[in-house]
């Protein structure tokens, strides 16, 4: 992991996090979706973003594929690049959350250690981090396969594909666990919203 460059100093602003939350009338946090490709995490994340915005909560979704068109376009899918991909998005989501926004991230993030690092980054900053596990059997994800990725992976066209030739380490204690093959999108959104309400993270 890269160390902090020499000769730089953190510059505190004039607005505290509590003052920002009071002025915006909401608390910033990160809702971190993880799960296999075709688990439904991006679909539910999009619906959650819409739901929150319609109830007056400022939210913004950071999608795994979309981020690779810009910020992370120089990264591949090796374990090292996957780790860097998650490190960067953890930092970005932290910035969004610190600004008072509900940051919604949707990344396969297959390695538990990388997700734990993202959680610790938020914990160290005192910002809530909610892990949502979009849980679906590989067989169901493969049946869905909207992008045709599993088919390509089985044909050897995509090396290191999560769930086929690369591992997915399931979350051990996610805040929200959704079996997406048994739950509608609307039900999933309500499950997440109910958790956030119970924790007084949204009002």
Edge to edge, the sheet with strand 59-63 lists: 59-63, 102-106, 29-34, 129-135, 176-179
Q: What φ, ψ does residue 61 adopt, rounded to 5°?
A: -95, 135
60 burial via Cβ count (<10 Å: 0-12, 13-18, 19+): middle
Residue with tokens 């075709």: 38
Q: What string of DSSP letters covers 133-200?
A: EEE--HHHHHHH-TTSHHHHHHTTSSTT-BTTTB-----SS-SEEEETTTS-HHHHHHHHHHHHHHTT
Annotated catalytic residue, options 39, 42, 106, 109:
109
Catalytic: 109? yes
**Active-site residue list:** 109
């Amino acid at each position: 992991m890269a160390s902090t460059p020499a000769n730089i100093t953190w510059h505190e602003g004039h607005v505290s996090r509590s003052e920002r939350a009071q002025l915006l009338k909401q608390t910033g946090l990160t809702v971190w979706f993880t799960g296999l490709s075709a688990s439904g995490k991006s679909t539910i994340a999009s619906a959650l973003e819409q739901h929150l915005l319609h109830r007056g909560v400022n939210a913004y979704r950071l999608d795994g594929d979309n981020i690779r068109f810009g910020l992370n376009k120089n990264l591949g899918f090796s374990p090292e690049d996957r780790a860097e991909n998650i490190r960067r998005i953890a930092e970005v989501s932290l910035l969004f959350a610190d600004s008072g926004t509900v940051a919604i991230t949707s990344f396969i993030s297959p390695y538990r250690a990388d997700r734990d690092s993202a959680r610790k980054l938020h914990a160290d900053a005192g910002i809530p981090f909610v892990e949502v596990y979009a849980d679906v059997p590989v067989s169901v994800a493969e049946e869905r396969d909207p992008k045709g990725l599993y088919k390509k992976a089985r044909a050897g066209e995509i090396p290191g594909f999560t769930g086929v030739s690369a591992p997915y380490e399931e979350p051990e204690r996610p805040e929200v666990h959704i079996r997406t093959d048994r739950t509608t999108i609307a039900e999933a959104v309500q499950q997440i919203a109910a958790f956030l309400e119970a924790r007084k993270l949204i009002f």
